Amino acid sequence: MSKEVKVWLVGAGPGSPGLLTLRARDVLSQAEVVLYDRLVNPALFTWAPETAKWIDAGKTPRGRRMEQKEIHRLLLRYAKKGKRVVRLKGGDPFVFGRGGEEAQALSQARIPFEVVPGITSGIAAPAFAGIPITQRGLSSEVTFRIGAQAEGSTTGKTLVGYMTVEGLGEFLLRAQNLGFSRTTPAGLIGSGSCHNQKTVFGTINDLAEKAKKSGVAAPAIVVVGPVVDLRRELAWWEKRPLAGKRIILTMSRSLGSGWRERLEGLGAEVWELPMSKIELVPPKRSWIPIIDRSDWLVFTSSAAVRAFPSAIGDLRKVARAKFAVVGQATAEVLRSIGFQPDWVGPGPGGEALARSWPRKASGSILHLTGSLGDGKFASLLKASGRVVRKIVIYKNSATSSVPVPVKRALNQEGADWVVFASGSAAVRFRQLFPVWRKGEPRVVVIGPATAKAARSSGWKRIVQSNEASVEGCLRTML
């Protein structure tokens, strides 16, 4: 993609990483400088290049803050240097986000910009709490306010407030003065759509008192109106089996394809922090005769299967060969590129595949693998008299870094689960996060070799999945 110098004003959504738009993700992947707000979920930072410069432009109530003029100055400064600048703002940049002021500053400086809308919390938080802010026969109009103000709304409508918890009492009092009765349903949703979402419900008369006892904290959305009572019928988020859980995936995005979607579908907040990068090895002429003479082509990882077409080039070269894979998950990936496995062995890991190799499966064997393979598959079969060769068709290299805001957030907030698909990931992740302030997360490992590496690197709360798939790990967690 050719370089396009401009500023993107991007809505990061209400907090859940899964609610980031595709356009926002695409823009982040090109960023050279990112100015981010306090309420942006740090999980989103992993979509930016590792070389991106991160600038905390957040404002905290009665705490540290970057003044708006300074934000404008930095946007103009980096844009004039020819950088791709992303202004990442919680919710939508044009809904109580001062995005209009930033757009004006850019326009006046004749700097091109693009607005990438995001989902605003005034819609998302009630939805995650089971509250439709409009409903035929109950509410045909919505008023959005910021802070404790509650002007312009009357009975038969919905009032939504973006606010601090401290201003709740005043907000409810103003709503009552405007025509809502003391018995009108009201709800407060803290950290809406995030793994730590918390809600409290009552009426205008008692919500403020209930909120004090509940522990709901900012950022929060308050909803007033008869639609609040619909949550008794429509509540859905908390019913999912992984609701409220933060899960960290450490495999490369190619290896973890489909994992995030599956886990998010069950309610989890998923952070992808790959501990490795998969790089294809350019095909070599010396591979051709080895492939031609092989009776069995063996894959002990889905990464090897995905690298296979590039390594082989003309797939007709392998028409006579049979295919063996470790586990059903790898078999599915093989089918996705047009080949049916002739044998699916147990997993995870090459050692399990070698120990269960069928006696009738004769002929020469070619193991297509990655740079970190331990060689046990080949050594075990060679010991039994088999002819086994190996070709490294992809490199598994360490991720160079994790964005500082991500490390800071995990240290402060913690996580519930971390998934390791390799021993190297367990070791690398431990080096990045040796101490957890809120208690160490539980660890799911794939296979005994990964479990051993995890224990040796200091992880203690370990459970082992005997299947190298998202479904196997789900069963282990649940």
The CATH fold assigned to 278-398 is Rossmann fold (3.40.50)
Alpha-carbon torsion (285, 288, 289, 294), positive or negative? positive
Cα maximum dimension of the chain: 88
Q: What confidence score (pLDDT) does residue 438 get?
A: 86
At 28, list the tokens: 């982040």
At 255, list the tokens: 């290896």
Q: What angle do CA 464, 466, 467 make, to 5 degrees?
A: 125
Spatial separation of the C-alpha atoms in residues 442 and 87, rounded to whole Å: 34
Element (H, E) at 9: strand 7-11
Q: What confidence score (pLDDT) does residue 3 get?
A: 53
Asked if residue 172 lies in contact with residue 180, where contact means CB atoms within 8 angstroms, the answer is no
The label of the residue with tokens 């889905």 reads: 302
Q: CA-CA distances (angstroms) from residue 183 to 167, 222, 234, 347, 472?
A: 20, 15, 21, 60, 49
Spatial separation of the C-alpha atoms in residues 173 and 165, rounded to whole Å: 14
DSSP 149: -
Q: What is the CATH number of domain 123-235?
A: 3.30.950.10
Provide CATH 3.40.50.10090 ranges for the chain: 246-275+399-477, 278-398
Q: What confidence score (pLDDT) does residue 152 get?
A: 46
Phi, psi of 410 (to 5 degrees): -65, -35
- Paired with 70 in beta bridges are none
Q: Catalytic residue positions? A: 37, 59, 163
Amino acid identity at 140? S
The label of the residue with tokens 């919680």 reads: 90
Spatial separation of the C-alpha atoms in residues 477 and 446, rounded to whole Å: 12
Q: What confidence score (pLDDT) does residue 156 get?
A: 55
At 112, list the tokens: 């091109």
Collect all residues with Cβ–Cβ distance below 8 Å to 429 and sequence separation of at least 6: 250, 273, 275, 418, 420
Collect all residues with Cβ–Cβ distance below 8 Å to 60 and sequence separation of at least 6: 38
Provide CATH 3.30.950.10 ranges for the chain: 123-235
Other Cβ atoms within 10 Å of 87 Cβ, number? 27
Distance of CA 22 to the CA centre of its chain: 13
Q: Nearest to residue 159, comparing CAs of 149, 167, 169?
A: 149
CATH of 7-119, one of 3.40.1010.10, 1.20.1370.20, 3.40.710.10, 3.30.499.10: 3.40.1010.10
Spatial separation of the C-alpha atoms in residues 308 and 322, rounded to whole Å: 14
From first to last of the 478 residues of the chain, give the pLDDT tens digit.
Answer: 345 568 999 999 999 999 999 999 989 999 999 999 998 999 999 899 989 999 999 877 666 788 999 999 999 999 999 999 999 999 999 988 899 999 999 999 999 898 999 999 999 999 999 999 989 888 878 888 876 554 444 545 889 998 768 889 999 998 888 788 999 999 999 999 999 999 999 999 999 999 999 989 888 999 999 999 998 888 888 888 999 999 999 987 766 778 888 898 888 999 999 988 888 888 888 887 888 888 889 888 888 888 888 877 776 777 778 888 888 888 888 898 888 999 888 766 777 788 888 878 788 888 988 887 777 888 888 888 888 888 898 888 877 678 888 999 998 899 999 999 888 899 999 999 998 988 899 999 988 888 999 999 999 999 998 777 888 899 999 8
Tally the C-alpha atoms within 13 A of residue 465's C-alpha that lie toward its C-beta. Answer: 24
Tally the C-alpha atoms within 13 A of residue 114's C-alpha that lie toward its C-beta. Answer: 13
At 272, list the tokens: 């992808």
Residues counted in the chain: 478
Other Cβ atoms within 10 Å of 137 Cβ, number? 7
Assess whether the previous peptide bond of 348 is cis (omega < 30° from 0). yes
Assess whether the previous peptide bond of 219 is cis (omega < 30° from 0). yes
At 273, list the tokens: 């922090």
Element (H, E) at 123: helix 121-128
The label of the residue with tokens 């930072």 reads: 45
Q: Nearest to residue 454, comparing CAs of 433, 475, 470?
A: 433
Collect all residues with Cβ–Cβ distance below 8 Å to 22 and sequence separation of at least 6: none
- Yes or no: domain 246-275+399-477 corresponds to CATH 3.40.50.10090: yes
SS3 track for 274-289: CCEEEEECCCCCCHHH
Asked if residue 54 lies in contact with residue 231, where contact means CB atoms within 8 angstroms, the answer is no
Provide CATH 3.40.1010.10 ranges for the chain: 7-119
Pairing of strands 198-203, 417-420: unpaired
Spatial separation of the C-alpha atoms in residues 88 and 38, rounded to whole Å: 10
DSSP 281: P
